């Protein structure tokens, strides 16, 4: 039986050159190797463009515009969420009743608009974003950005209390699992480690839990990005990762850096 899967990414997952993109891209490649037909949806809003390297892994690709701060700002919804509520995306996903993988809390603003009855929806939680933005605010010297980051942290914490409990939340750390269960009273929460490039099989639930999807989306007439190949951008193994991390700590020992979740 042919299996399909919608994946909604907060950003262009190629090239895999930061933590979130590496996790998303390796997950896409793992599903592709399992024979699952991927219908990719992502938001394009920066210099990453529309790379044609994604075509080899995906059955269809749909690209959406992310609202800017002027049109996407809300006093009640975090900007990283309100700016990704897209009507075209909602309509495409509503055309079937099959599983969806939402990459990040950033993409969950569409959940109230989706018919979730008898449908599997998984939300990949890349960070506890309210904590991330609080630390961003602490590190920021500019007054306006500091205010924005603190307000985003406040809104994210408030927003997380209203996440629907009928979705599965896949957290990147055990600490995030405890936080979602204890602070936000979510019950369907699981630990799913990062998809590292050296894994031969994805560390997730059996493929039998991935349901069939009828895919809808347009093939993007994309250009060649001229960037490195996935293998060149991917990790070489746990030993190489440990060495890179050690070098990074030595170089930045006296400087604080926010969690490496990549562009927001």
- Residues 181-191: tens digit of each pLDDT: 999 999 999 99
pLDDT of residue 29: 94
CA–CA dist 139, 216 (Å, integer)? 42
Higher pLDDT, 114 or 208: 114
Residue 153 lies in a domain: no
CA–CA dist 29, 61 (Å, integer)? 14
pTM passes above 0.85: no
Q: Average of pLDDT values for 57-73? A: 90
Residue 69 lies in a domain: yes
Residue 179 lies in a domain: yes
Tokens 């024979």 belong to residue:
35
Residue 233 burial (10 A CB sphere; 0-12, 13-18, 19+): middle
pLDDT of residue 199: 53
- Residues 224-238: tens digit of each pLDDT: 333 333 333 333 334
- Residues 109-129: tens digit of each pLDDT: 999 999 998 899 999 999 899
What CATH number does the domain containing 226 carry? 3.40.50.11720
| Number of compact structural domains in the chain | 1
Residue 95 lies in a domain: yes
Residue 147 lies in a domain: no
CA angle 135, 171, 99 (to 5 degrees): 130
Residue 152 lies in a domain: no
* Residue range(s) defining the domain that contains residue 42: 4-128+159-251
- Interhelix angle 143-160/129-139, nearest 10 degrees: 170
Query: Cα separations (Å) of 12 from 21, 43, 104, 191, 257?
Result: 8, 6, 13, 24, 23
């Amino acid at each position: 039986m042919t299996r399909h899967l919608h994946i909604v990414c907060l950003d262009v997952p190629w090239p895999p050159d930061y933590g979130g993109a590496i996790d998303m891209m390796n997950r896409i490649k793992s599903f592709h190797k399992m024979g699952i037909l991927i219908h990719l949806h992502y938001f394009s809003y920066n210099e990453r463009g529309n790379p044609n390297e994604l075509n080899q892994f995906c059955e269809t690709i749909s690209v959406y515009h992310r609202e800017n701060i002027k049109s996407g700002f809300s006093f009640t919804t975090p900007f990283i969420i309100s700016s990704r509520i897209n009507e075209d995306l909602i309509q495409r996903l509503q055309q079937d009743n099959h599983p969806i993988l939402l990459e990040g809390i950033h993409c969950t603003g569409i959940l109230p608009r989706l018919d979730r009855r008898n449908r599997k929806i998984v939300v990949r939680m890349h960070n506890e974003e309210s904590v991330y933005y609080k630390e961003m605010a602490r590190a920021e010297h500019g007054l306006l950005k500091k205010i924005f980051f603190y307000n985003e942290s406040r809104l994210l914490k408030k927003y997380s209390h209203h996440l629907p409990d009928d979705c599965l939340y896949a957290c990147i750390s055990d600490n995030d699992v405890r936080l979602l269960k204890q602070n936000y009273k979510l019950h369907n929460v699981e630990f799913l480690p990062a998809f590292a490039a050296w894994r031969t099989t994805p560390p997730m639930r059996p493929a039998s839990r991935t349901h069939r999807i009828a895919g809808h989306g347009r093939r993007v007439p994309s250009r060649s990005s001229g960037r490195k190949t996935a293998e060149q951008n991917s990790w070489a193994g746990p030993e190489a990762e440990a060495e890179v991390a050690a070098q990074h700590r030595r170089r930045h020992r006296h400087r604080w850096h926010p969690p490496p979740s990549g562009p927001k």
